[in-house]
Amino acid sequence: MTAVEPDPDTPTENAAATCATCGDPVETDEWHPAATTRTDDGAVQIRSFCDRSCRDRWRERTE
């Protein structure tokens, strides 16, 4: 059997998430606020936030 190296450009469940507003680490093993956006080509992006106040500040900036 041959071991396959993970692709460094592919996100994994163990990838460290950071808050889209303040840059603090987001604990992905627990609930955290999130939002989705679409890029110009239609791809979905998931934004993670450390708490609701950061999500609300991000939402205010994007409106």
Question: What is the band of 1 on the pLDDT scale with cuts at 50, 70, 90?
Answer: very low
Which conformational region is residue 22 in: left (phi greater than 0), alpha (psi within -120 to 50 degrees), or beta? alpha
Residue 48 · residue 26 · CB < 8 Å = yes
**H/E run at residue 47:** strand 44-48
pLDDT tens readout for residues 8-48 = 454 445 456 899 999 999 988 889 999 999 999 999 999 99
**Rounded mean pLDDT of 3-11?**
48
More confident residue, 20 or 62: 20
